[in-house]
Amino acid sequence: MGRVKVNLTLDAEVAQTARALGLNMSRLAEAAISAATKAERNRLWREENRANIAAYAEEVARDGLPLTPYRSF
């Protein structure tokens, strides 16, 4: 997928310092947005699957891990 132009509003001092340091603000913003997107996607997945995760945790607590008798360590 290609790149698209977007408008962002930044604190003037932050932008000035980033320019002075030669930082690529577009790449930094992209990395931060990507990380935030991944974190939110993971949070939503955990929320949507909370009941299943709890049920599995309960099963493991009650019965132990599957295939435990066959572990060699």
Query: How do residues 2-22 score in pLDDT, each as one tens digit?
Result: 999 999 999 999 999 999 999
CA distance 5 to 24: 15
pLDDT of residue 15: 97
Which parts of the chain sit beneath pLDDT 70? none
Return the structure tokens found at 32.
């931060």
Domain segments of the chain: what residues? 12-67
